[in-house]
Structure 1
Amino acid sequence: MRTAIAAAGAAGLVALAATSASAAGSAAPARPALALVSPVTEVTLNADEEFGTDLNLSTYVVAGNAPIEVRATRADFNSPVVAKQYVKGKPVAMPKGLVTDFSGLGKFLHVTLTDAQGKTALDVDQSLCLNGDGSRTRPDAPATSPYPDYCNSNPFTTGAVWGLQTGWSASTYSYDQKPVKLAVGKYKAKITVNKAYRDLFKIPANQSTLTMNVNVVPGEDPCDPGHGVRGCLAAKGQKAQASKAQPLKANAARPTGKPSTPKGPKPDLISVPAWGMAIDKGEEGTPEAGREYLSFGATVWNAGPSPLVLDGFRRQGADLMDAFQYFYDDKGKEIGYQNTGTMEWDPREGHVHWHFTDFARYSLLNAKQSEVVRSQKEAFCLAATDMMDYTVKNANWHPMNTDLHTACGDHTSLSVREVLDVGSGDTYNQTKPGQSFDITDLPNGEYFVEVKANPEGKLIEGNTKNNTALRKVILGGVKGARTLTVPKVGVIDAP
């Protein structure tokens, strides 16, 4: 199959579909669990002097006569990641060492590039996200896929689900792959599924290796992460995939009847330790110039078993909305509501959308765990940005609001719906001085970054004992050149 696809280029996938069509209505032909394919024999990549080259070679894996499903879990932050393949709904242990984190199947592919003189220019392994960009490849494949749309890179994820539907493809290129350094020129590429996975999925040699020509040309790549866009590029004629998310609509009107908190499932907000921390300096020419800030990322996620659903309804003539939380029974039927505060319009650069007030609070505590600085970030637009644990009960593998566009509305909005679905987290990277801690006048020493979900108790949860997380940090150095040390949390080393 590999030879046919490589020789025929884009016609190869058409031939693959035609073969399947002829078998429709009869016994499915023998197929490996996974096959490595490409619709092209040549790709062109951009060599960006600053960021390097995205190694998107337009290769895909295609599932055979059954779906491929893998679930990875971590018992706690002190435990390693354990992965199991699910075959006909039953877990089967996978060989140790294949999965060590939540980025996908580790070292799935081996990529070698040789230059015009036959010298090896690149020799790397690549992980595979089974949830990568893809689609149906043959007419007898199911019309939809139950699996998530992406893999995860949050350091405090505890459970992930990766899957490839029967007859569906997944791109072997991950948006999280680091760019590589390649000189402008022509190369020969050899892409091979590594032996551990060839053995696991019983992939024959002629469906586990591809060769192609690679042209590296000068110029900035508009899809490079350094330019704010991820995931387009590479094969001739290939287009960037548009976002699948659609804006969520609030109920048509404010809820009526008496507010109530019925019995039944509730959301469970959990804070994880802060991460992505660094010392930043205020920009020259601003009031913050000359000051130093501790920036950080913070995640609050919903362990369920019910989604957190908030509607905001605008007050007449005001940049303020009244917020309502809705409750659902075990079958997903709405059975009650409570007024849970307000949503406010934030016109500042980098925001310009509606925020729910009092979703979380960030504080810097001293060694005695008394607050010394509070972040000015107090209001949030809720969005399911991170897969935190898709193995929990009622986890939604396809949350709709995965970016701010789908949840936060604009200045003319009369209402908005903001949702944090079960299994997903909402991560804020605190990159602006007003949303981080001013440490300019703090002495060196031990501190704690406190992340607290639902600080005023306005949201109704099933459990509030896990709303607070602390992360130790150690400040050193001298004023103007402060240093930061961030100890590990268990086995997780994510400063």
Structure 2
Amino acid sequence: MTRHHPNALRRSAIIAAAALTVGAAGTLAAPGAGAATPAGTPKLDLIAASPTVTVDRWEGEPGVYLDLGTYVTVDGGPLELRVTRKSYNDPVVAEQVIRSGSRTVTKALPKGLVKDFSGLPGFLDVSISDQSGAMVAKATQSFCPNNRAGRIQPDAPATSKYPGGCSDNPFALGGVWGVEKGWAAATSQGFREDDAVDLPAGVYTAKVSVAKKYRDLFGMPDKTQTIKVTVRQDSGGQGLAGVKRGQKNTSKSPKPAAERPVGKAAVPADAPKPDLRSLPAYGIAITKGDEGGESAVPGKDYLAFSATVWNGGPSPLVVDGFRKPGAEKMDAYQYFYDAKGEQVGYTPTGTMEWDPRDGHQHWHFSDFASYRLLGADKKEIVRSGKEAFCLANTDAIDYTVKNANWHPGNTDLATACGEETSVSVREVLDVGNGDTYSQYRPGQSFDVSDLPNGTYYIQVIANPDNRLKEQSTANNVTYRKVVLGGTPGDRTVTVPKYGLVDAP
């Protein structure tokens, strides 16, 4: 089952030693001559793990995904960046955080440098030459400091406190990027569609360097790594399509209860609760005559989209299902935890049901979210048939909120949703994380075949029947404006920007 928006398929400082000092207000400022570098300032360098790499060109793919084995190493202190935006009407801003003893200092990155929450854009310059020395391709690559990091020094921390990836959700609100001291992060973000380079099978030479603006920003040496690249044509299998992205499974999430809860059910009034929040729909498109893989129906038009419900905290959403012998459904219970993570209560919260359909085949919690198409007057016209979900932490939405879990465990359906023979299931939506669902399956997208052209709204509602107990329900509903055009059987959709977010 697709849980991400259509473009979400992914395949997988020296900070100038003589240029920065601690300012009086706790920020980094340019010092005079001879000023000392604050303790804990990271020192960054670009290395190549191997002088040679082999990459496959998969049948049906747009090109080669250049994972050239280059890494950014960090010494002197951890590299930490905080990326935020106040609202969707404000730009994304980023700052570097340096912990100098008991003091924390920050340095704002240049305005406009960071565009979203997927990483530092244009970080690497890559040029590719063939065996005659002629340049055949040039590319730039972004860098997510959280990407495929590992330690390179024996005295480095054994585990990283930083998240396992950067967010590609266009409506993310806050991110934390970091590399521990003595660790290195891969510069390649894996298999990103935008990073494909059209190279035939053969032998090439790649030259990789950090863009000057980042060398200047982080005080990195001007260094070029040269790698021999063999491109190998691979016609077997189905390429890398269908690979799900996920984060490292080093979960600190609550573990499943072994048995059905005992004692009197109660919702503790003073215990922290989750705060479910809906994000505007995106990945919006017309599927002409095709509703989620079903046979095309001439003259039919469906409006498909992706939507995210996330948990703003301060407590995780924890729902357990328990199955009575022979029962077709599970009884669902929501659990509550105090500030120390100790369970302090639970309450019945509906049911879970097994979905046997191809592409599902897992346990769904009922009535988690609802999707509706509204007219220009915001009155309901069409309702999606999708309301039951297996909860999974598919997207990092805001890792700067209180109690955000940077290492959620259940990041895809395979980790959380159980099997047909399961007697119990635990489904969790951790703080700071969202569950993205793409409405591209039968009965889920909106049939707009007979609707007149004009303005409509996609309404996303979290917790529509208030089955779940949460901190607030004031932020459970969002609307995304769409404009239908074209003719029956050949409809079009235009999606205006949402504030500054241009994500159709």
Specify the TM-score bucket, using the shorter chain as the normaliser: 0.7 to 0.9
State the Cα distance separating 1:65 from its structure 2 match.
2.3
Q: Which amino acid aligns with 2:78?
A: P
Amino acid at match of 1:480: G
Q: Distance in 2 between matches of 1:144 and 1:93?
A: 27
Q: Distance in 2 between matches of 1:360 and 1:330?
A: 27
* Pair 1:91-2:88 in alignment: no
Match of 1:335, SS?
strand
Aligned pair partner of 1:256 in 259, 262, 278? 262
Is contact 1:321–1:342 with CA below 8 Å preserved after alignment? Answer: yes
Following superposition, the deviation at residue 327 of structure 1 comes to: 0.9
SS of structure 2 residue aligned to 1:130: coil
> Per-residue CA shift, 1:63-117, capped at 9, x if unaligned?
1121100010011011110000110043221223331211111211111111122
Give the structure 2 partner of residue 372 of structure 1.
Answer: 381
3-state SS in 2 of match to 1:435:
coil
Q: Which residue pairs with 1:10 in the alignment?
A: none
Residue 253 (structure 1) shift: 1.1
Match for residue 236 of structure 1? Answer: none
Q: 1:195 aligns with which of 208, 212, 217?
A: 212
**Bigger shift: residues 125-134 or 97-106:** 97-106
Change (3 A) 1:243 1:90: closer
Q: How far apart in 1 are the matches of 2:416 and 2:281?
A: 24
Change (3 A) 1:221 1:297: farther
Q: What pairs with 1:2-17 in structure 2 (closer than 5 Å)? A: none
1:271 matched to 2:282: no
- In structure 2, the residue matched to 1:449 is 458
* Secondary structure of the corresponding residue to residue 343 of structure 1: strand
In 1, Cα distance between equivalents of 2:70 and 2:134? 23
1:20 paired residue number = none
Q: 1:69 to 1:286 in 2, by over 3 A?
A: closer
Aligned to 2:202: 185
Decide whether aligned partners of structure 1 residues 126 and 317 sit closer, same or farther in structure 2, where only a CA change above 3 A counts: same
| Structure 1 equivalent of residue 488 of structure 2 | 479
> Which amino acid is the alignment partner of residue 67 of structure 2?
N
Distance 1:433 1:445 in 2: 25
The residue aligned with 1:138 is 153
Aligned equivalents of 2:48, 2:377: Cα separation in 1: 58
Separation in structure 2 between the aligned mates of residue 41 and residue 327 of structure 1, nearest angstrom: 53
State the match for 2:243 in structure 1.
229
Distance 2:428 2:151 in 1: 29
Q: Specify the alignment match of 1:112 in structure 2.
A: 127
Following superposition of structure 1 onto structure 2, how do residues 318-357 of structure 1 map, counting pairs within 5 Å? 318-357=327-366
Q: 1:319, CA displacement in angstroms?
A: 2.1
Q: Counterpart of 1:70?
A: 81
1:126 matched to 2:132? The reply is no
Tell me if 1:461 matches 2:470. yes
Matched with 1:420 is 429
Asked if the contact 1:62–1:167 (Cα under 8 Å) also holds between the matched residues in 2, the reply is: yes
CA distance in 1, matches of 2:169, 2:50: 33
Pick closer, same or farther for the CA change 1:349–1:245 going to 2, 3 Å. farther
**Equivalent residue in structure 2 for 1:46, among 56, 62, 84:** 56
Residues 320 and 345 of structure 1 are in contact (CA less than 8 Å); yes or no, is this contact kept in structure 2? Answer: yes
Change (3 A) 1:303 1:138: same
Unaligned runs of 5+ in 1: 1-29, 232-240
1:229 partner letter: V
Please give the alpha-carbon distance, in whole angstroms, between the structure 2 residues aligned to 1:242 and 1:275: 22
- Give 3-state SS (helix, strand or coil) of 2:470's partner: coil
Q: 1:329 to 1:249 in 2, by over 3 A?
A: closer
Structure 1 Cα separation of the partners of residues 236 and 394 of structure 2: 25
> 163, 173, 181: which is aligned to 1:166?
181
Taking the aligned partners of 1:57 and 1:439, their CA distance within structure 2 comes to 46
Amino acid at match of 1:184: A
Q: Under a length normalisation based on structure 2, what TM-score does the superposition of the two structures give?
A: 0.86
Kindly provide the CA deviation profile for residues 303-329 of structure 1, in whole angstroms up to 9, marking residues without a partner as x: 001110111101221221111111111
Q: Distance in 2 between matches of 1:221 and 1:132?
A: 28
Matches within 5 A, 1:303-318: 303-318=312-327
Structure 2, unaligned stretches of length 5 or more?
1-39
Q: Paired residue for 2:91?
A: 80
Q: Separation in 2 of the partners of 1:335 and 1:466?
A: 26
* Paired position in structure 2 for 1:218: 233
Distance change (3 Å), C-alpha of 1:361 and 1:35: same
Q: Secondary structure at the residue paired with 2:151?
A: coil
Q: Bigger shift: 415-424 or 122-131? A: 122-131
1:55 aligns with 2:62: no
Alpha-carbon distance between aligned partners in 1 of 2:180 and 2:238, rounded to the nearest angstrom:
28
What does residue 24 of structure 2 align with? none
Q: Say which of 289, 314, 329 aligns to 2:297.
A: 289
Corresponding residue for residue 398 of structure 1 = 407
Distance, in Å, in 2 between the alignment partners of 1:435 and 1:340 is: 24
| Structure with more of its chain in helix, by fraction | 1
Q: For the structure 1 residues 248 and 178, does the alpha-carbon distance in structure 2 shift closer, same or farther, using more than 3 Å as the test?
A: farther
Aligned residue for 2:195, secondary structure, equals coil
After superposition, give the CA deviation of every residue in 1:385-443 in whole Å (9 maximum; x if it has no partner).
00100001111101111111111000011101100000000000111132111111222
**1:178 shift after superposition:** 2.8
Check 1:172–1:195 CA distance in 2 against 1; reply closer, same or farther (3 A cut).
Answer: same
What does residue 147 of structure 1 align with?
162
Q: 2:47 is matched with which residue?
A: 37
How much does 1:287 deviate?
A: 7.0
Distance 1:298 1:341 in 2: 23
C-alpha contact (below 8 Å) 2:249/2:408 kept by paired residues: no
Q: Which of 175-184 and 131-140 deviates more?
A: 175-184
Distance 1:482 1:151, change over 3 A: same
User: Closer, same or farther in 2 for the Cα pair 1:248/1:412, shift >3 Å?
Assistant: farther
Q: Residues 224 and 491 of structure 1: is their aligned pair in 2 closer, same or farther, counting only changes over 3 Å?
A: farther
CA contact (8 A) 1:344 1:355 kept: yes
Aligned equivalents of 1:422, 1:90: Cα separation in 2: 26
The one-letter amino acid paired with 2:157 is P
Q: Which amino acid aligns with 2:265?
A: P
Report deviation, 1:197.
Answer: 1.8
Contact kept in structure 2, 1:32 and 1:202, CA below 8 Å: no
2:35 matched to which residue of 1? none
1:296, distance to aligned residue in structure 2 (A): 0.3
- Count of aligned pairs: 454
Provide TM-score, normalisation by structure 1: 0.87
CA contact (8 A) 2:59 2:238 kept: no
Q: CA deviation at 1:204?
A: 2.2
